[in-house]
């Protein structure tokens, strides 16, 4: 009988426990990133690790994203299992050449001889008025690259377990974590550990409308679902979790059941994850559709500094409720 007790924990704490477990179970695993050691991590996720594991396994790196991400890839080539922390996805643009031209491509160019078992963690998303250069949502860009597995930790359970499974993968995995969730508390089973990184997950069963989302969209959609339930609308919530390769099956089965889809994401609307999901629904579940697929995405503007504008630039809980009502009432 699994242990039924649960644990009230912040998203940050869940990330920390996951990484701690990884460092203990495999001595080839080491963490490298800006301010991960002495500073305890830009978001205090690796606080105390330097004291516990020492400089050799908790490496502070200079501000050379291309350099240290490339070095992480090199170390993975030569037998180590590095966790490369890029402080935020906003700084990862400098390391894209290493990530795309080396990590994602070496297996193919070498005709299958060379594996790159590197895990790259990046804090992402919007929140706390960090303005345009510090509030990017680059999931769609990374999800476009064959050779990279892209996962999005939208819940505490995934924050706790995705890293462990990613470290088993022979291929490069990029994990998106979210600043806006760090301080949020939630219940998770105290026995929770590694989780799969292949499938989407139905976070709430429902029959009237399928809401497909990822990242911070998950908890917002769940909150919206409670409000909708009180007006008799039963929505199904799909947490994509894996943005490449995408789990078509879960999506198609849900559409076949509800016949209506609302997609929610914070990234900019054009050429986004929602664009890809809509294409796949059109290709595989066209005859299950009773209405056009709707979507709520980031407004196409560099994220503004003032709070009221920042909040208006991405879908909020109430937007999800309003859209769902419009789609159902219309029926």
Partner 1 sequence: MEKEEIKLNPAITRELGLKLLYQMILIRRFEEKSAELYTKEKIRGFLHLYIGEEAVAVGTMHSLTDEDNILSTYREHGHALARGLDPGSIMAEMYGKQEGCSMGRGGSMHLFDASKRFFGGNAIVGGHLPMAVGMALASKKQGLNNITSCFFGEGAIAEGEFHESMNLAALWGVPVLFLCENNLYGMGTALRFSHSVQDLEKKGAAYGVESAKTNGMDVLEVKNAVEKAIAYIKSTGKPYFLVCNTYRFRAHSMFDAQLYREKTEVDEWKKRDPILTFSNQLLQNELISRDDIDTIENKVSAEIQKAVDFAEAGTFEPVEDLKKFVYSP
Partner 2 sequence: MIEFTMPSLGADMEDGTLVEWRVKSGDFVKRGDIIADVDTQKGLIEIEVFDEGTINELIVKEGEKVPVGTVMAIIIPVGEKVSAKKKSRIKKEPIKEMVKEGSIKVDDRLKVSPLAKKIAEEKGIDLSAIKGSGPEGSIIKKDIDLAAAKKAESHVEVTGGKKEIAAKGLRTAIASAMSKSNREIPHFYLETRIDMTKALNWLREWNKERELKDRLLAVVLLIKATAKAIKEVPSVNAFWENGLQLKNAINIGFAVSLRKGGVVIPAIPEADKKSLNQLMDLLNDLIPRARALQLRSSELSESTITISNIGEGSTDKVFGVIYPPQVAILGFGNIVEEAWAEDGKLSARPVVHVTLAADHRAIDGYLGSRFLMALKRNLQKPEAL
Which are the catalytic amino acids? 65, 134
**330 in contact with partner 2 (CB under 8 A):** yes
Smallest gap from residue 279 Cβ to partner 2 (A): 11
**24 in contact with partner 2 (CB under 8 A):** no
C-beta closer to partner 2: residue 293 or 320: 293
Say which entry of partner 1, partner 2, none residue 263 contacts (CB below 5 to 8 A, set by partner kind). none
Q: Which of 54, 193, 292, 302 binds partner 2 (CB under 8 A)?
A: 292
Reading the block at residue 288, the tokens are 């299950």
Smallest gap from residue 252 Cβ to partner 2 (A): 14
Q: Which stretch binds partner 2 (CB under 8 A): 50-58, 59-67, 243-251, 288-296?
A: 288-296
Say which entry of partner 1, partner 2, none residue 189 contacts (CB below 5 to 8 A, set by partner kind). none
**111 in contact with partner 2 (CB under 8 A):** no
C-beta closer to partner 1: residue 40 or 74: 74
Nearest-angstrom CA–CA distance, 102 and 75: 13
- Cα 215 to the center of its chain, rounded Å: 5
Is the Cβ–Cβ distance between 5 and 184 less than 8 Å? Answer: no
Smallest gap from residue 269 Cβ to partner 2 (A): 18
Q: Which stretch binds partner 2 (CB under 8 A): 52-60, 111-119, 129-137, 280-288?
A: 280-288
Smallest gap from residue 270 Cβ to partner 2 (A): 15
Q: Which of 2, 5, 111, 287 binds partner 2 (CB under 8 A)?
A: 287
C-beta closer to partner 2: residue 95 or 263: 263
Nearest-angstrom CA–CA distance, 211 and 105: 34
Q: Which stretch binds partner 2 (CB under 8 A): 37-45, 127-135, 141-149, 281-289?
A: 281-289
C-beta closer to partner 1: residue 33 or 82: 82
**259 in contact with partner 2 (CB under 8 A):** yes
- Residues in contact with partner 1 by the rule CB under 8 A: 30, 56, 59, 61-62, 64, 66-80, 82, 97-98, 101-102, 106-115, 146-147, 149, 169-171
Binding positions for partner 2, rule: CB under 8 A: 259, 286-292, 330-331
């Amino acid at each position: 009988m699994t242990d039924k007790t649960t644990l009230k924990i912040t998203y940050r704490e869940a990330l920390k426990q996951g990484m701690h477990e990884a460092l203990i179970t495999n001595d080839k695993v080491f963490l490298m990133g800006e301010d991960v050691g002495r500073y305890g991590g830009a978001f205090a996720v690796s606080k105390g690790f330097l004291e516990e594991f020492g400089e050799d396994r908790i490496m502070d790196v200079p501000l050379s994203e291309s350099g240290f991400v490339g070095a992480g890839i090199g170390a993975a080539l030569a037998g180590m299992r590095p966790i490369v922390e890029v402080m935020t996805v906003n700084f990862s643009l400098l390391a894209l050449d290493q990530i795309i031209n080396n990590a994602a491509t070496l297996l193919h160019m070498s005709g299958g001889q060379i594996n790159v078992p590197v895990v790259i963690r990046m804090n992402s998303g919007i929140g706390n008025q960090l303005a345009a250069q510090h509030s990017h949502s680059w999931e769609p860009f990374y999800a476009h690259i064959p050779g990279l597995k892209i996962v999005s930790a939208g819940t505490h359970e995934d924050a706790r377990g995705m890293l462990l499974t990613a470290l088993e993968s022979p291929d490069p995995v990029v994990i998106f974590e979210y600043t806006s969730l760090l301080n949020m508390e939630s219940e998770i089973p105290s026995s929770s550990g590694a989780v799969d990184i292949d499938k989407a997950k139905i976070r709430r069963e429902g029959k009237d409308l399928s809401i497909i989302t990822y990242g911070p969209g998950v908890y917002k959609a769940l909150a919206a679902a409670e409000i909708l339930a009180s007006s008799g609308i039963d929505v199904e919530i799909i947490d994509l979790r894996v943005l490449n390769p995408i789990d078509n099956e879960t999506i198609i089965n849900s559409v076949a059941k509800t016949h209506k889809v609302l997609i929610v994401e914070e990234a900019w609307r054009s050429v986004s994850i929602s664009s890809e999901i809509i294409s796949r629904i059109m290709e595989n579940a066209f005859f299950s559709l009773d209405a056009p697929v709707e979507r709520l995405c980031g407004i196409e503007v560099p994220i503004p500094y003032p709070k009221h504008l920042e909040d208006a630039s991405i879908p909020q809980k109430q937007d999800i409720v309003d859209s769902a009502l419009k789609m159902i009432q219309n029926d």
